[in-house]
Amino acid sequence: MKNPTEILAPGQKEKKQASEKNPADEQLILFRRLSRIPKNPEDMLKALEAASGVDKSDLRYRLAGPGFGVLRPKAPAETLDTCINDMADSGIPATIVAKSDITAAALPPQAKRVNLTEGFIEFQTAEEEPILRVDGTTELLVIVTDLSGKAVKQILTTIAYTSQVQDKPFEEVLKKLSMSQGAAIFYDMKENPAKGVFIDAGSFTFLGLNDRLSPSASVNFRTMVDEAISRSKTHAVDYYFGIAALPGAKPNWDGPDSAIEQRLGAYARYMMAASRSGLFTAEAASPAHAEAWREDAWEDTKAGDDAVSDLEPPPPVKQSRFWGLFQGSASDVFGSLVGIGAIFFFTVAGMEWLKGGGRFWEIVLGISITAAGGALFCYSLVLLYYKRMVENTPTSKIRSQSMGMTELSGKARPYYDLRTSHTLTRCIFFVCRYYRYHRADNGGQWKQVRTISSGKLPFYIEDDTGRVLINPKGAFYSLTRFRQTVRGRFIPALAIKLDDPNSRVIEEMIPIGANIYVLGSAQLQRHGKTHRERLMDRLRSVKRDPSQMARYDRDGDGHIDAEEWDAARADIENNVYAESLTSDKGAYETVVIEKPNFGLLPFIVADSEEGLLRKFAIRSWLFLGCGTTAFACGIGILL
């Protein structure tokens, strides 16, 4: 059997014909989707957004996934060719199709019989009238599916469970599809319009397979598909009906057979357009960008899928709604508390002044503002102290770091298999906010309905000398979070986006591979039990077991005297020592960066040292000025 991705001769005339159709007819961009979101795609997404008029947040998730995808560009029809060229330069083969050509689609004639010979395979009607012959001149397009939807749902479940697009050999997928209600469409693409045939295995006679005939209908269906492919000149195969999200071609498996077949007909028209434009060929991607598109979006080549798949999932994070209001750095939390306190006292003072007790509450307000100003002033000194600490601590390599306060710089690596809650993007930290649009008589507004945060979970920092574990509990985070917005609902495993104009999700994350600067305390963390601890455990176990104690009762009097116990202890100690030499379960120590035991020493996780120093300088002067002003205002109110 030939390679299923072998190309058909691409035709460029169809693109021009599609773009020259009636301007009132909606034009769609059909493109071959990528197996992964590319690495560092921002420049490319901006260019495609400008060319297509489609928001880049939508582009990010429509470009990757199984099979083919469609864009409904908002740009004028005359600019679609520019968009197609930009997508081709980015390694995304694409073409233009008219919506009317898809919605008006119908299945080709249905065959009931087959005739297999040495030189060709012919599909026939029930009266043995020929419909389509496949031979050495046929440029074959094959679309295989399961009309019952059972096998397709199994594939969807597998993709959703593993969060990955399954890239399995065509023979394996064909076997799975044929086990239910297999169906196939064959087109000879060398003709225009293409000549095709539809086959439903449930109402098909396979007697024409002759000596290749089998008692199993599913085996006969696979044999027929294999024989057609082997006899063609070129071929392309597709099995993503019901999986790929294409407008007008998404079946309702619980609906009538006629509705499913109608959707299959629309899907076949998409595949014909893709075949004529050469979208099935792997060579359609631009060589200059092909390598970049094969890499993962959020992690570099040192931390690929295989490395992350061995990690354990993170523990569940229990977070109260109240504490969720104060997500952020220490200065943000402090400023929020001061602001809430100031509003409270201003409100209370204003109410009491109306009642005639203004002077008492003026004193309360003055004391509060004075205290807040003093707190802000002290906090500015703490920030200044942190700034000096960062400046005076030398950056160490991980291999040569010393115990105690240390400064490290490297790339973030995962400790847990952590993924964002909505798009399942791998990261080391995320906050996901869900919004719903609520309409009212005077308009409407977006309201946040829930927030999911990973919390500060452990991760590794890695440089060219090694890696070390970071336990960020209690750390001051000063990290730039990558932000992505998803409109509507999104199925990340399939990269399928469902239109829902009333829902929106904003994800903020720290991606794997991000540059990380850490200033904290390097401490030893002990694992396992020492030799003495294992010896004591073994002695306790022997004392509780009469049968083991009897082994050391040399005189058989039923009592272990001091001499016998000394011999037993020596024997047990030798056994424990021998086990420690032959196993790796003994005690060992690892280095972990944690919050220093002394509270005023800093524990900081940031993007870089330069950015951190700049931020500390700005904030220290800002809090110093605000604190001084508040302190002076409070004293003025009191006086």
pTM of the model: 0.48
pLDDT digits (tens, 9 = 90+) for 71-111: 877 767 667 777 888 777 777 888 888 877 777 678 899 99
Domain range list for the chain: 13-103+287-293, 113-264, 539-585
- At position 420, the amino acid (one-letter code) is T
SS3 (DSSP) at 20: coil
CATH of 13-103+287-293, one of 3.90.1200, 1.10.12, 3.30.1390, 3.30.200: 3.30.1390
Q: Which two tokens stand for residue 37?
A: 């979101």
For residues 148-169, give the mean pLDDT.
67
Cα separation of 473 and 46, whole Å?
37
Q: Which two tokens stand for residue 130?
A: 């020929």
pLDDT digits (tens, 9 = 90+) for 221-237: 999 999 999 999 998 99
Cα separation of 62 and 292, whole Å?
18
Q: Which two tokens stand for residue 167?
A: 């890239």
Q: CA nearest 202: which of 188, 183, 187?
A: 183
Of 185-199, 356-370, 431-445, the range with the lowest mean pLDDT is: 356-370
Peptide bond into 23 cis (omega under 30): no
Q: Which two tokens stand for residue 180?
A: 């239910």
Q: Which two tokens stand for residue 68?
A: 């083919």
Residue 132 pLDDT > 90:
yes
pLDDT digits (tens, 9 = 90+) for 445-492: 888 888 888 888 899 988 888 888 888 888 888 777 777 777 665 555
Highest-confidence range of 117-121, 214-218, 249-253, 619-623, by mean pLDDT?
117-121
Cα separation of 289 and 293, whole Å?
6
Task: Give the model's pLDDT for residue 338.
Answer: 60
pLDDT digits (tens, 9 = 90+) for 50-79: 777 777 767 776 777 778 888 877 767 667
Within 277-402, residue ranges assigned H as helices are 287-293, 305-309, 321-324, 330-354, 358-392
Is residue 501 within 8 A of residue 436, CB to CB? The reply is: no
For residues 597-613, give the mean pLDDT.
79
Task: Give the model's pLDDT for residue 335.
Answer: 55
